[in-house]
Amino acid sequence: MAGTEKEVAFIRGDGIGPEIVDNSKRIVDAAVGKSGAGSIRWVEAYAGSAAEEKFGNRLPDQTLEIIKRCKVAIKGPIETPVGKGFTSINVRLRLAFDLYANIRPVKYFPGIVSPLKKPEGIDMVIFRENTDDLYRGIEWKYDSAEAGKVRDFLNSELGTDIESDAGIGIKVIGKAKTQRVTRIALNYAINHRRKSITIMHKGNIMKYTEGAFREWAYETAEKEFRDRIVTEQEVANGASRDGKILLNDRIADNMFQQIITRPDEYDIILAPNLNGDYVSDAAGALIGNIGVLGGANIGDNYAMFEAVHGTVPKYAGMDVANPMGMLSACTLMLEHIGMDVAATSIKKAVSAVLEEKIATKDIARFLGTEAVGTKEFSDSIIAKIKEG
């Protein structure tokens, strides 16, 4: 066979996970086969309830070993109970492999009903720093001894006047962590010929965390990518864009109204963890269905690709779930391992199928057409890929 064989780990996950992962794998195999780029050797790893049943552990060491070996994994959604029980397996995987950049493309699919009048221009990619900020979980309950100690220290040593009934959370944003996610966003922009990068921050209020994120992102771009970027300020001063990536920044609250009123003006958004979390779902809502979105979690040595949505337990095993989110994650995976032709053929096939109004229930109900099941929808995509 021409091309190479790539090893990719897969985790089926919980709820609708097994159906969307298995069908996405079939579609990926068809696209890779058709492209002549080689093949994928899928290696199964277990996490979530399937792992609990098989190994008595929701995230067994064996799974971590398989991902270490393959370096690339796709993952179905995994259940996380709210407010009790085990910590999120998703968070544990991100930390174990230092997957510091979360990448989420948000592109409008013709046929899906959006809340916007003109959603056609929506084509953004959000880069969210995945390991820093308030998500580090450094916080203490208002009545804990620790919160008391922190309040006492701050009030007596640093002149603050924090009330005795206040809970404490610490926001941490570091230079090195900002630099590395900025590099990933810039390299992606260059490799994918994107037009602009907008740094989203609330630096007017949080000067030394989000303000610093903005400053370090500009600094990294100007020092390390000088010949590939031009800033909005430089353009205002007369510099030519000359095929370069435009770098600008927007204050977080303004960013939300900008992507709603003028989404076609935004391309790549680079944000610290919390802003990135908020803006990803808001941008997803603009295209009308968050169930079609996929994302990547990337580090220097490992990468994991997953749908944005959860396990939708009520649809588990019913052959009604939409596999598009998982499939979108798979196209990112294919681009990551250099199988771009296969990724493009999947995207084209999905659009062609939707244009024919073939859709799973979540989309068909807005189109006013009869829904097809997960398997039939996937078969239609495979048929389009083969027609090529």
135 is known as an active-site residue:
yes
Question: In the bound complex, what is the minimum distance in angstroms from residue 76's beta carbon to ligand NAP?
Answer: 7
Q: What is the CA radius of gyration of the chain?
A: 22
161 is known as an active-site residue:
no
Q: Which is nearer to ligand NAP, 6 or 75 (CB)?
A: 75
Compute the distance between CA of residue 226 and CA of residue 165 in angstroms, rounded to an integer. Answer: 49
Handedness of CA 258, 261, 265, 266 (dihedral sign): positive
Compute the distance between CA of residue 258 and CA of residue 278 in angstroms, rounded to an integer. Answer: 14
For 146, 208, 288, 295, the CA distances from 156, given in Å and listed in that order, are 15, 22, 51, 45
Q: Which is nearer to ligand NAP, 12 or 250 (CB)?
A: 12
The structure tokens listed for 299 are 């580090």
* Residue least distant from ligand NAP (Cβ): 310
Question: In the bound complex, what is the minimum distance in angstroms from residue 79's beta carbon to ligand NAP?
Answer: 4
Q: How many angstroms from the chain centroid is the CA of residue 207? A: 26
In the complex, which residues of this chain contact ligand NAP (CB under 6 A)? 16, 77-80, 90, 291, 306, 309-312, 315, 321-322, 325, 362
Tell me whether strands 294-298 and 101-107 are parallel, antiparallel or unpaired: antiparallel
Tell me whether strands 245-251 and 196-201 are parallel, antiparallel or unpaired: parallel
253 is known as an active-site residue:
yes
Give the relative orientation of helices 17-35 and 324-336 as an angle to the nearest 10 degrees.
40
The structure tokens listed for 172 are 């941490």
277 is known as an active-site residue:
yes
State which H helix or E strand residue 306 sits in: strand 303-307
From the list 143, 152, 253, 300, the catalytic residue is: 253
Question: In the bound complex, what is the minimum distance in angstroms from residue 179's beta carbon to ligand NAP?
Answer: 27
Q: Which is nearer to ligand NAP, 130 or 196 (CB)?
A: 130
Question: In the bound complex, what is the minimum distance in angstroms from residue 158's beta carbon to ligand NAP?
Answer: 38
Q: Which is nearer to ligand NAP, 17 or 119 (CB)?
A: 17
Question: In the bound complex, what is the minimum distance in angstroms from residue 290's beta carbon to ligand NAP?
Answer: 7
From the list 71, 75, 202, 244, the catalytic residue is: 202
Q: Which is nearer to ligand NAP, 80 or 179 (CB)?
A: 80
Compute the distance between CA of residue 81 and CA of residue 368 in angstroms, rounded to an integer. Answer: 35
From the list 46, 108, 135, 302, the catalytic residue is: 135
The residues annotated as belonging to the active site are: 135, 202, 253, 277
